[in-house]
Structure 1
Amino acid sequence: MDDLKNTIASLPIYKGLSKPDLDSLARIASMREYRKGAIIFFEGEYCDGFYVVAKGRVKITKISSKGKEQILYILETGEPFGQLAIYHGDAFPATAQALETSVCLFFPKTPFLELISQRPALPMNMLAFLARRHRELTLQIENIALKEVPERLAEYLLYLCWEQKSLKTVSLPISKEQLAYLLGATPETLSRSLAKLVDDGMIMMDGKDISIIDEESLNDLARSMAM
């Protein structure tokens, strides 16, 4: 129980909660472990609660009518998922899959809704997180509609520089195939785009490690729009 409560207390979405609130959450939560590649839930499946990544990484995807996978998010430790469905509708709007061996906290729907009706401070950080996710998804849709793959790739590499706090070298946190789907591209198109950035002297590659050679040109490319 103490380990569970400490894990919950470490999550950004529950930062600053009182001990009674943490105790209440710990009483309804449980830990679930998933092997690499395991499906946590499918799109359209009944939503019986929501999850928070306690360890590992999880991808959220949708499948088109033609069977093409589109990665919406790659979730890291501390990030919740499936929470929107507990407020609106009975089904998960996308599929969640473990990218590596992962541990998730699970909060069942009915007990959680009963709890927040009594303790309204509980969901405030989660609502802020939902607003940020909505903004990220809006930007992703705009990028796919308005930018070509090289521009999307340049923007993603600059985002990694910020996330990994490095201006010189970044490491891809996912496979190139997964990155292609995240950017709304085919693996072949992504490979050509990476090769073009290398040929143009903007980056150098060594496996998953990418060195930023010409940050100014990469910034210019990221800001450009398809004509």
Structure 2
Amino acid sequence: MTVSERILEIKQFLQQTPIFQDLVEEQLSALANIAIPQTYKRGETLFLEGDEGTGLFIIKSGRIKVFKVATGGKEQILHIFETNEHFAEVPALDGGHFPASAAAIEASEVMFIPGTAFLMVLQQNPLLAISMLKTFARHMRKLAHLVDTLSFTEVPERLANYLLNLSDKFGNIEVVELNLPKGQLAALLGTIPETLSRTFYKLSQDGMIEINGTTIRLCDRDRLISLGQKK
């Protein structure tokens, strides 16, 4: 692939992403010229908490987890980003350090946009600036919800809500496929794998779900909803 073909491919990808879809041709070309394609293997780290924040990332394929690690080594996943989503905007804008770490859950390809170039485009496009403010608002809501969940609910409620959300994501299906390894799912739900396994077993014994490897059948959606709403 020639350089011009590579830049055209990057520009077409950027144009399809929600954050950049309103940019004019000149601005897209400017971003495409400085965007850096990066690939990561499963488990590979993009950056660590405290590293210098030099830009933002947009996912072309795969999934990236953003997480923090406690002093004792326990991991808490803050969010999992998927295709066309972007993250690390704050350090890209304020020049500070990354407030959390990021790693690939699966083989992933991302576009890295250097912060200085992104700021220049942002200054030229008020719609993009508004889009960024909306992004910050969504992230704040998600973090507030995470704090609320970890502070005021127990693991069974968190797991019930996770399974229901997974079902809703694919059209209220009765059978869902766990899309995370147990260890990663435990980190997302703020617990440890052993506790998560016991919770799966308890929900199964109570007749709310059936477990077949990574395949989960939601046998009693109403009871799962009731459990998820319990505080």
SS in 2 for 1:166: coil
| Counterpart residue number, 1:224 | 230
The answer (yes or no) to whether the contact 1:116–1:122 under 8 Å persists in 2 is yes
The answer (yes or no) to whether the contact 2:204–2:211 under 8 Å persists in 1 is yes
Per-residue CA deviations over 1:126-166 (Å, capped at 9, x if unaligned) read 33222112111111110111000000111111111121223
Out of 172, 183, 193, the position equivalent to 1:177 is 183
Out of 62, 76, 86, the position equivalent to 1:70 is 76
| Counterpart residue number, 1:42 | 48
Out of 21, 31, 35, the position equivalent to 2:27 is 21
- The structure 1 segments of at least 4 consecutive aligned residues displaced by more than 4 Å after TM superposition are none
How far did residue 125 of structure 1 move? 2.5
Q: Which amino acid aligns with 2:183?
A: E
Unmatched runs of 5 consecutive residues or more in structure 2: 1-6
The answer (yes or no) to whether the contact 1:168–1:212 under 8 Å persists in 2 is yes
Q: Which amino acid aligns with 2:163?
A: L
How far did residue 169 of structure 1 move? 1.2
The answer (yes or no) to whether the contact 1:51–1:80 under 8 Å persists in 2 is yes
Q: Which amino acid aligns with 2:31?
A: L
Per-residue CA deviations over 1:58-84 (Å, capped at 9, x if unaligned) read 111101122211111111111111111
How far did residue 89 of structure 1 move? 4.8
Considering only aligned residues, what root-mean-square deviation do their CA atoms show, in Å? 1.3
The within-5 A match list for 1:15-164 is 15-164=21-170
The answer (yes or no) to whether the contact 1:154–1:221 under 8 Å persists in 2 is yes
Taking the aligned partners of 1:127 and 1:161, their CA distance within structure 2 comes to 30
Identity %: 40
Unmatched runs of 5 consecutive residues or more in structure 1: none
Q: Which amino acid aligns with 1:217?
A: R
Per-residue CA deviations over 1:24-77 (Å, capped at 9, x if unaligned) read 221221211111111100000001111011111111110112221111111111
The answer (yes or no) to whether the contact 1:34–1:103 under 8 Å persists in 2 is yes
Taking the aligned partners of 1:15 and 1:196, their CA distance within structure 2 comes to 46
SS in 2 for 1:191: helix
What's the TM-score once normalised by structure 2's chain length? 0.93
Q: Which amino acid aligns with 2:174?
A: K
How far did residue 216 of structure 1 move? 0.3
Out of 197, 202, 210, the position equivalent to 1:191 is 197
The answer (yes or no) to whether the contact 1:21–1:122 under 8 Å persists in 2 is no
Q: Which amino acid aligns with 2:41?
A: R
Taking the aligned partners of 2:57 and 2:131, their CA distance within structure 1 comes to 15
SS in 2 for 1:159: helix
Higher mean alpha-carbon deviation, 158-167 vs 18-27, is at: 18-27
Taking the aligned partners of 1:152 and 1:158, their CA distance within structure 2 comes to 10
How far did residue 120 of structure 1 move? 2.5
Q: Which amino acid aligns with 1:8?
A: L
Taking the aligned partners of 2:172 and 2:25, their CA distance within structure 1 comes to 37
